[in-house]
Structure 1
Amino acid sequence: MQAILDVVLLVLNLYTYVIIASAIFSWLYAFNIVNSSNQVIATIGQTLYNLTEPALRPIRRVMPNLGGVDLSPIALLLGIFLIQNIIVRYIYPNVF
């Protein structure tokens, strides 16, 4: 059981990095720092979007519209950190 919890924690940790990379990429794209016509950049952007959008879409529906500011990645990261803390503090010590 500890191995399964370790894998879950690892996946949550990796997904945290994907969310951060997606947020940074969206800023770079919005300010025209990266060339959007480049095939590699477009593929990276589409991959990050496809990885994060299924988790961010329900959060965006619930959160109020703040104009150009999107706080859904922060809410998702807080949820991931909550899940990680619950696993580490309450579930992991009770597994033999």
Structure 2
Amino acid sequence: MQSLFQILMLILDVVWFFIIVHIIMSWLINFEVLNLRQQFVAQIWYGLNRIVEPIYRPVRRILPSMSGIDLAPLVVLIGIYALRIILANNVAFFV
């Protein structure tokens, strides 16, 4: 069961990483440091969108419209952190 705990923590770490990369890339694209007309950048961007958008979609339905400010990544990151805390505090269940 310890391996199940480690696998869950690994999945949460990978999702956390994808969200952080998506946030940083969105900033770089908005500030025109990265250009979506470059094929490599566009492939990474659209690939990341396919990964994180299904995670963001339910959160965006719940959150009110904020006039262009997207708080879904922040809410998801807080949720992942909360899940990590819950799993770490209940590690005895997995042993």
Runs of 4+ displaced beyond 6 Å: none
Root-mean-square deviation (CA, aligned residues, Å) is 1.0
Any gaps of 5 or more consecutive residues in structure 2? Answer: none
Uncovered stretches (5+) of structure 1, i.e. residues with no partner: none
- Aligned identity (percent) is 33
What is the aligned length? 95
Quote the residue 2:40 is aligned against: 40
AA in 2 matched with 1:86: I
Report the TM-score when normalising by structure 2.
Answer: 0.94
Matched position secondary structure for 2:54: helix
What amino acid is aligned across from residue 43 of structure 1 in structure 2? Q
Q: CA separation in 1, counterparts of 2:19 and 2:94?
A: 30
Matches within 5 A, 1:1-96: 1-90=1-90, 92-96=91-95
Deviations 1:41-95 (A, max 9, x none): 00000111011000001101110111121111010011111111111102x1233
TM-score by length of 1: 0.93
